[in-house]
Amino acid sequence: MKNKSIGIIGLGTEVPKKTLSNYDLEKIVETSDEWIKSRSGISSRHIIGEDENVSDIAAAAGLKAVANAGLEPDDIDMIIMTTGSPELIWPSTACLAQAKMGMKNQPAFDLQAACSGFSYGLSMARQLMAADEYRHILLIGAEAMTRFLDWSDRSTCVLFGDAAAAAVIGPVDEGYGLLADYMGADGRGAGMLKIPVGGSGMSCSRAAPASAQKIVMNGREVFKFAVRIIPECVQTVIAKAGLKLDEIDFLIPHQANTRITEKAIEKLGLAKEKGVNNIENYGNTGAASIPLALAEAYASGRFKQGDIIVLVAFGAGLTWGANVIRWSLGS
């Protein structure tokens, strides 16, 4: 596949049936619909059920993406799962989802880059396929973020939701598909957004307050980081693709906060209508947020052949990533 174009050839999503509105949250924590929407743009989110796990929704999204690509499960050569809320420390959630999709033998592993995971995964898939090692890679972003929320902390519990979205990466017509990618990280910011307990540094068996087993976030600093890093990522990746900012047709940022998206688009000088935003009905779904927004916009007929689409992410780590796509799916 050397010197061949590589891109997204299938998309699929799965969200839990249960939803939690802002009005529902008013009964749980001191907050209001107006307060949440004015600070995040979120009205509702999906919540994984007690009888569900992240591998269940990941497998469902993965099979939909395979079908959308016109393939069979046996056509998949590798599974990359990106999640910040793995079902277990090990085995990987990718292996659990693989079994539920009725697949076997292909390599399957988790990629941990928090909310930047899907962007990292696209870059990895492109490079593996460019090396002529694989023909079809299934990339899944899936999260059960609500399992890690402190429902008494209104600064975090109102923001997150659960979802899965998947993409099949494969050969596309010359000149289309993934044109460039960019990744980075700065571990000095690791303390801004984390789940303190659950790893080997402090296992659940060691004495720790229950709140330490939940998401802890310095919202103000994360906001400042995101507003700075999104324009930097977009400018860098567009330059790598040999394009200019005014050639962008759509910008799909990690769906963390509407105010972040609006400020970043303003700093880039892009028209508001170029931004893709679906956070209102899903909240922040971590590594699933970008492919979920991408799949939803695609399904609505918003993209046309040849559109330049930029994906840009940021997350715990701190991590960031961006990808440029010349769209071909469905053309």
Architecture label for domain 178-326? 3-Layer(aba) Sandwich (3.40)
Task: Confirm whether 6-175 and 178-326 share one CATH topology.
Answer: yes
Tell if the pTM clears 0.85, that is, is over it: yes
pLDDT for res 202: 72
Domains in the chain: boundaries: 6-175, 178-326
CATH superfamily of 6-175: Thiolase/Chalcone synthase (3.40.47.10)
Q: Which of 11-15, 145-149, 195-199 has the lowest mean pLDDT?
A: 195-199
Closest CA to 290 of 248, 241, 252: 252
Residue 1: pLDDT band (50, 70, 90) is very low
Q: What is the pLDDT of residues 138-180, one digit of tens each?
A: 999 999 999 999 999 999 999 999 999 999 999 999 999 999 9
Residue 94 has pLDDT above 60, yes or no: yes
DSSP assignment string, 91-147: S-HHHHHHHHTT--SS-EEEE--GGGHHHHHHHHHHHHHHTTS-S-EEEEEEEEGGG
Active site residue 95: no
- Supply angle C-alpha 316, 12, 113, rounded to 5: 15
Q: 46, 68, 233, 254: which one is catalytic?
A: 254
pLDDT for res 212: 65
Q: 95, 115, 157, 233: which one is catalytic?
A: 115
Based on its alpha-carbon atoms, the radius of gyration of the chain, rounded to whole angstroms, reads 19
- Are the beta carbons of 320 and 185 closer than 8 angstroms? yes
Residue 101 has pLDDT above 60, yes or no: yes
Q: Which residues face 79 on adjacent strands?
A: 108, 138
Active site residue 115: yes
Residue 261: pLDDT band (50, 70, 90) is very high
Q: What is the pLDDT of residues 287-329, one digit of tens each?
A: 999 999 999 999 999 999 999 999 999 999 999 999 999 999 8
Active site residue 284: yes
- Supply angle C-alpha 265, 266, 268, rounded to 5: 65
Q: CA-to-CA distance for 4 and 41, rounded, in angstroms?
A: 40
Residue 133 has pLDDT above 60, yes or no: yes
pLDDT for res 197: 74
